[in-house]
Structure 1
């Protein structure tokens, strides 16, 4: 039995475990179990499980890969620069806990976009939900594509299995174990998956340190000498200038966690506000340490590659008139051919091409699968929930029985599974090698209108009475943001990075302010 077959057997066994959990958690499940877990989730389970959802395959694969990008221009993060965004994330979670969670609990929401309907009108409710569905569908499938592509390139391609089959089978797995229980099941499975992901992270760090015969302190010193550990980019014009990275990370968290139905439906499944806040803040602190460990692992991967026969070179590119340098490693395959590996592909190349022993490869593949499922199961459940609750109004529909509603919800769940498959195939065609930054940029365009809408609703008392005015503003703002980004990059040295979401949210807020009704004010209690 070859190593690829052994690894596939572990993947299969892992999935069987998820199905067993799903069987026990979905018994007697109804629509409220699917949407918000009947508000009986334990806060500490939600906190731990959310780590896996937040990290996903992007952190597991792409964040370590950013360490070796010796950035000097528009290229994504290099060294430990990504940690400035993590600090921004950390600050953002406190804002979510202080402002948004109390609002959601006070209004007893199943979908957080119901707030927009009560604060403004039904069009605001639906456009908010629609932006979430678009945002989460793109973000989740980008993350999912990253992991599926790794499995395909380094494990399944040699067995003659085409990419579309790999993607379809994995989505079918996710569909099967979320079909009945929804959030009630995901709270438990995400906890299991987060555990495996962190164990895989620690095991890989431990193995590499042992192989290099170094302590963690000694390894960090070597990485610092090679300039792999620089945290702060002082270039004001760069996309990763540290102040705008921190601010961008903070607002990304507010939007992608606090204004995101997937993340919030787990939080509001906790029995009360106090415990939900405990969940959010525990989760925020834990992420500081976990992300730092992933960056440290990224540096170790480059040291390990150089010490274990991978041919090393530097790729110099000129991007928008600026020089960017990236570390590249040449790996020999079974036929003796050398293929260049960089960025997202480095960790899986070392793990699955014979550089790591089999037991570490098994641990890696379990960690990878554990990173894959939380980014897919929660997203699939959340977009189904939002479509049913916000766009179809399934909770208020008195013409259907509970069984008819459940059947409709399952049909929608299946439709979104097919949509996710189509989006994964689109990402395969794009084939971006550093997807972490692509996701952040897309989020700037799709979550920005949500940021502006909620900010206007919470921090002003103005009402908007023109029926489709809110829809018009939320569609125009991302287009204006895109045009502004293009003009700035073409005519100045400044590069807009993760602050894109702030600009988009601000333009949405200004647009809503200009169309506000000055004759009456209204506040939601």
Structure 2
């Protein structure tokens, strides 16, 4: 596939996004930027959330990891169901009752100023890191497929990518993103469907044969019974539940869309239908992974391997096959799919970062609409620059699977949020508010130390469940600095 063709696809794709932005951002206000005027149809939110929640990480890494991890990731996905049920029945009613724009405002009402700022800070850190990883992935694919051949430096690729996101989101915010993410989710699902269909056709598999091939493959094993195995089913299942609660229910990015629904019942319908959809979509991604390796084996295609370990580099399998061994049409669909799924995640993250910083750090509502607009634009541009810097740092140090890196980062940065909300929801105690930042910084450090030594101490290696450990340590730290709520209220009359 020629670089000129790929550049034309990218240009055409962004023209569509900018047209959508122009049409949806007319008369945009802070209310429409932050929560789409609380008037979004629930089914549109549910569909748009698919693209936001998956990202380029799922698109490339999940299919690529089946050779080494089989379908063990499906245990995580099944855990998602529990997590989404908790979000829909516990967190959403709370957020709608308080009519929040930023979900971290709850922490101020429950604990106080410093707890509030700490929670918002950890979200900003977590989401900036996560969004940067996702953009790093797609920028690397585009660099390999297009820009290396044209002599364009990686830094230029990244800068252009993020500035294009800024261009179509800075006016309309969430109101625009609900439409662009709907379009991008359609493009992503089209890519997965076309890829599966074309590989099945090449392998002479009908629908029944396709299902049989995936089912009988050694790579489709879901249940692993060894508790010390990082693929242990129940460890993965529990991790999936907590990852969902934290990375969706306690994440401004994902909940911002849910808060744009017209009512709590609409938001709950959105969440429950989205749960069903996300499970099905992940089944397709894992099936795609099995077929990719089957296709490569049948065609005698040498897969990319690590020069040191000799292991297949899973993140490179789908891009390699799609751009070099599939038909031109399939290659075009792949490029559109990877762009769609990554930008659907990144544009939403950039808007959420802007929202949280404006609401939680700048207290933007105290200003008139004209000043709010200026602050929004400056913040939006500022976070665009932050993402560029983080991605360039990742380019220099990345040495592991992107999917693992994202969840490891989430384990350390989302853990304090899990501890804060758990303590607030499930205890009646107040806290010494000024000590909360110290607890939330200490917990990830203690978690990191335990994780670094757990194999030597107990023969146990942590995986995604590091998030639960981090949250537990935060919870215990908050308990240590807690006091009866009436005492805390006397010290902090705002509670």
| TM-score, reference length from structure 1 | 0.90
In terms of fraction of residues, the more strand-rich structure is 1
Distance (whole Å) between structure 1 residues aligned to residue 157 and residue 485 of structure 2:
58
Residue 437 of structure 2, aligned match among 449, 471, 474: 471
Q: Which residue of 2 aligns with 1:451?
A: 418
Q: Distance in 1 between matches of 2:151 and 2:240?
A: 41
Partner of 1:481: 447
> 1:36 corresponds to which residue?
35
| SS, match of residue 171 in structure 2 | coil
Match of 1:425?
392
1:267–1:156 distance in 2 versus 1, CA, 3 Å: same
Partner of 1:460: 427
Deviation per CA, 1:245-277: give whole Å up to 9, x if none.
Answer: 110110010000000000011100111000000
CA contact (8 A) 1:155 1:352 kept: no
For 1:67, the equivalent position in structure 2 comes to: 66
| Superposition map of 1:206-355 within 5 A | 206-223=197-214, 225-311=216-302, 326=311, 328=312, 342-353=313-324, 355=325
Q: Is 1:17 aligned to residue 16 of structure 2?
A: yes
Alignment partner, residue 376 of structure 2: 409
Given that 2:304 and 2:316 are in contact with CA atoms closer than 8 Å, whether structure 1 keeps it comes out as: no
Residue 107 of structure 1 deviates from its aligned partner by 0.3
CA distance change for structure 1 residues 432 and 221 in 2, over 3 Å: closer, same or farther?
A: farther
Task: Measure the CA separation in 2 of the matches of 1:314 and 1:152.
Answer: 19
Instruction: State yes or no: 1:393 paired with 2:363.
Output: yes
Secondary structure in 2 matching 1:517:
strand
- Contact in 1 for aligned 2:187/2:340 (Cα 8 Å): yes
Structure with a larger share of its residues in helix: 2
* Other-structure match for 2:327: 357
Contact 2:36 2:175 in 1 (8 A): yes
Q: Secondary structure at the match of 2:464?
A: coil
The change in CA–CA distance for 1:232 and 1:155 in structure 2 (over 3 A counts) is: farther
Q: CA deviation at 1:311?
A: 3.0
What is the Cα deviation at residue 503 of structure 1? 0.8
In structure 2, how many angstroms separate the alpha carbons of the residues matched to 1:188 and 1:90?
A: 26
Q: 1:132 aligns with which of 123, 126, 149?
A: 123
What is the number of equivalent residue pairs in this alignment?
491
Query: Deviation per CA, 1:160-192, whole angstroms, max 9, x where unpaired?
Result: 121111111110110000010000000111111
Structure 2 gaps of 5+ residues are none
1:176 corresponds to: 167
Calculate the aligned-residue CA RMSD, in Å: 1.9
- State the alpha-carbon separation in 2 of the partners of residues 480 and 225 from structure 1: 43
Q: Distance in 2 between matches of 1:314 and 1:137?
A: 30
Residue by residue over 1:142-167, the C-alpha shift from the partner in whole angstroms, topping out at 9 and shown as x without a partner, is 01111110111122211212111111
Match of 2:71 among 61, 80, 84: 80
Aligned partner of 2:469 among 503, 510, 514:
503
Give the whole-Å Cα distance in 2 for the aligned partners of 1:344 and 1:113.
34
Following superposition, the deviation at residue 222 of structure 1 comes to 3.9
Counterpart residue number, 1:148: 139
Unaligned runs of 5+ in 1: 70-77, 319-324, 329-341
Deviation for aligned residue 1:223: 4.6
TM-aligned CA deviation for residue 427 of structure 1: 1.3
1:461–1:522: 8 Å Cα contact kept in structure 2?
Answer: no
Given that 2:196 and 2:288 are in contact with CA atoms closer than 8 Å, whether structure 1 keeps it comes out as yes
Distance 2:109 2:384 in 1: 30
1:276 counterpart SS class: helix
Q: Following the alignment from structure 2 to structure 1, what is the Cα–Cα distance between the partners of residues 305 and 116?
A: 50
Deviations 1:472-502 (A, max 9, x none): 1111111111111112123232111111111
Q: Tell me the TM-score normalised to structure 2 length.
A: 0.96
Change (3 A) 1:388 1:4: same
Of 108-117 and 224-233, more deviation after overlay is shown by 224-233
Tell me how far 1:220 sits from its aligned partner.
4.4
Instruction: Give the Cα separation in 2 of the matches to 1:102 and 1:303.
Output: 46
Q: Deviations over 1:392-423 (max 9, x none)?
A: 1111x2xx321112101110111100000011
